[in-house]
Amino acid sequence: MTHPYWVAFTSIVYKEVRRFLRIWPQTLLPPAITMVLYFVIFGNLIGRRIGDMGGFDYMQFIVPGLIMMTVITNSYGNVSSSFFSNKFQKSIEELLVSPVPNWIILSGFVVGGVARGLACGLIVMLLSLWFTHLPISNLAITVSVILMTAVVFSIAGLINAIFATKFDDVTIVPTFILTPLTYLGGVFYSVSLLPDVWQWISKLNPILYMVNTFRYGIIGVSDIPIGFAYFMLFVFVVVLGGWAMYLLNTGRGLRS
């Protein structure tokens, strides 16, 4: 007999995946179009003037960062918008009063966010093959870091949705925090090109570690130690996951 917790978990995941697939022109198509523009403008036009980066052409260098940027924004956006919609419509209260544990609720929404993030990342990766060659230096690192990153930002999106009181609050963090951190996270440049003081400041940006570790998995180059990057990712998963569980258990921002 199927365990009730498994039924609850798969139901939440199915709802989340079906939600973003049903409106694919809004969830899957825009990232693809945006990234193609990045490939054309930054990779082909500007990249020809820049030359190579660490022995690789500029297009190969930026593609891993652009894929990671897609995964981050879509994992975060999927959970923050979906969970807040459930909170706004009061349907989240049905889950909270049900016998479903909060860790099942958290896991279901996070897996839904990871699914959308990875789907968009895969689309961007396939499109990038029209513009450059991706050698995949280490498949294990490539897969593990993109999964952990999607989990981190899915949890962060849920936390954002819990604290949000109106739809505008859902877009504040991506617009004023997430986007600047992403662009300053080494997507378009190597931090080794920066002056020492700016290299130190850049290393305070957590996205730098995610982008560089993923780039190492793809083309084998990184500006930061891979072991330390994994440690940082693990810390983010534990801290954000624990915070999200605390908010769900206490009903902070959920129970009126």
What tokens were used for 132?
């450059």
Q: Residue holding tokens 């990038």? A: 128
pLDDT in tens, 223-245: 889 999 999 999 999 999 999 99
User: Residue range 142-167: average pLDDT?
Assistant: 94
- In whole angstroms, give the CA distance from residue 37 to residue 220: 25
User: Residue range 204-228: average pLDDT?
Assistant: 91
12, 108 in Cβ contact below 8 A? Answer: yes
Residue type, 118: L
User: Residue range 69-98: average pLDDT?
Assistant: 90
Is there a domain that residue 27 lies in? yes
Give the model's pLDDT for residue 1.
43
Query: To the nearest whole number, what is the mean pLDDT of the chain?
Result: 89
Is there a domain that residue 256 lies in? no
Give the model's pLDDT for residue 172.
87
Residue 99 has pLDDT above 60, yes or no: yes
What phi and psi, each to the nearest 5 degrees, are found at residue 149? -65, -45
- In whole angstroms, give the CA distance from residue 4 to residue 225: 43
What tokens were used for 35?
């990234």
User: Residue range 110-125: average pLDDT?
Assistant: 96
What's the total number of domains in the chain? Answer: 1
Is there a domain that residue 16 lies in? yes
Beta bridge partners of 69: none
User: Residue range 61-87: average pLDDT?
Assistant: 93
Beta bridge partners of 57: 52
- In whole angstroms, give the CA distance from residue 191 to residue 73: 22
Range of the domain at 41: 4-250
Residue 3 CB neighbours (<10 A): 8
- In whole angstroms, give the CA distance from residue 8 to residue 106: 11
Reading phi first (left if > 0) and then psi (alpha if -120 to 50, else beta), residue 134 is in beta
67, 121 in Cβ contact below 8 A? Answer: yes
- In whole angstroms, give the CA distance from residue 103 to residue 15: 17
